[in-house]
Amino acid sequence: MSKIKFLSLGKQPITNNFLIEQNPINEFFYDLNIVYDENTNVVSLENFVPPERMFNETYAHRASMSITMRESNKLLSENITKRFNPKSVLEIGSNDGIFLKNFPNIKRVGVEPCKNLADITNGVNIETYDNFWDLGLSKKINKIHGKFDLVYSANTISHIHDLNDALQSVNLILNDDGVFILEDPSLLEVIKNTSYDQFYDEHAYVFSVLGLNNLLEKTELEIFDIEKLTTHGGSNRVFIKKVRSNKKISDNVSKIINEELNMGMNKFETYQKFAQNVINSKNETIKIFTELRNNNAKIIGYGATYKSSTILNYCGLDTKFIDYFTDTTENKQGKFTPGTHIPILKPADGIDSKINYVFLGAWNFKKEIFNKEKKFIERGGKFISHVPFPQII
């Protein structure tokens, strides 16, 4: 057997299942186990959760809710235009149009299986297919719109269970000299930061470049450049072309692959070591929360992210430890966190003068949050984060 389990993160709920009732009957849980494939170096969940349970018309995440994300998408669009000057763009996982809205003057098509989100972009004249990305859809779009110069997909390819099909579908829709840009959390950063919260139902895979490279070997596609990003706590923006296109392959590719090899990411022992770090992180997190609560600290959470669901459920952080969360996403407000049943309020009802500690569910937006919450910091308020190790900041 080539896939070996190295980490068990316990029973976990559907991260998007923000609850209307605090104590629902029949909440769905599954075993979140992580495996390493010795043949391909690919790290994935052991058991995939059926996509329809996760990506449906109740999908809560709205990418445009964060200033950081709005700004970075605008900048990226400008850079792509400068570097590749595409005449057409297809986005796989177009969410609320945060990326595509920056391309008003070229052919643009979105793919977004969550109908509530697809309705938003269809409503502003960005033609969007509310389907899952697969070969059937790729053929259909190809027939209607032809091929594309740019295929962009951020935080979506890692959600697709059948990667071979997903990549073949991109190959089919991409012009011969086209560019496929894929952006997903970096496994190297996850290992460096013990940010095990990147593992949750939607993230069927957390990619290393080593793993991606091996998967692409079975296709007519290859990596020609990589940029490291700070988004989502450390991601790779991977530039992919057809093998027959003569775009130059940047030195960045071998540089990052070597960095991963130096980290031992082609060895099972590295993942075993990471798993031990995760257990240590859990114990330390529980210790911090228990000590603070024993001293009657008032603790709330900031950003009821999907990622935080893994930490809360794995560490058993429920209403005994966290009074409530605040979140800017309207369709999370008034609901309860999956599995741990913590109320979610809107930020305006959030950090009042009695709060001493704020747990950073959205730790990847630390800079943006610290800027927003200067008053809390000035009056001595502290943040709790588990990254890169459990600490009070």
Contacts to ligand TMP by CB under 6 A: 61, 65-66, 303, 305-306, 326-329, 332, 362, 364-365, 368-369, 372
Q: Which amino acid, residue 284?
A: E
Q: Which is nearer to ligand TMP, 70 or 145 (CB)?
A: 70
Q: Which is nearer to ligand TMP, 12 or 305 (CB)?
A: 305
Pairing of strands 221-229, 235-242: antiparallel
How far apart (Å, rounded) are the C-alpha atoms in residues 243 and 17?
41
Residue indicated by tokens 């031990």: 276
C-alpha angle with apex 240: 235 to 245, nearest 5 degrees? 160
- Minimum CB distance to ligand TMP, residue 326 (Å): 6
Describe the strand order of the beta sheet including 3-13 as a list of residue ranges. Answer: 3-13, 29-37, 43-45, 205-206
- Minimum CB distance to ligand TMP, residue 348 (Å): 11
Q: Which is nearer to ligand TMP, 18 or 36 (CB)?
A: 18
* 98 phi/psi in degrees, rounded to 5: -55, -35
Q: Cβ(257)–Cβ(251) under 8 Å?
A: no
Residue indicated by tokens 């069927």: 204
- For 191, the enclosing helix (H) or strand (E) is helix 187-193
Q: At what angle do helices 209-216 and 163-173 cross, to 10 degrees?
A: 70
Nearest CA-CA partner of 342 in 369, 372, 305, 390? 305
- Minimum CB distance to ligand TMP, residue 225 (Å): 25
How far apart (Å, rounded) are the C-alpha atoms in residues 219 and 222?
8
Q: Which is nearer to ligand TMP, 213 or 326 (CB)?
A: 326
How far apart (Å, rounded) are the C-alpha atoms in residues 18 and 100?
27
- Minimum CB distance to ligand TMP, residue 382 (Å): 17
Q: Which is nearer to ligand TMP, 70 or 273 (CB)?
A: 70
- Minimum CB distance to ligand TMP, residue 61 (Å): 6
- Minimum CB distance to ligand TMP, residue 175 (Å): 31
Q: Which is nearer to ligand TMP, 372 or 382 (CB)?
A: 372
Residue 326 three-state SS: strand
- Minimum CB distance to ligand TMP, residue 224 (Å): 28
Q: Which is nearer to ligand TMP, 151 or 344 (CB)?
A: 344
The 8-class DSSP code of residue 204 comes to S
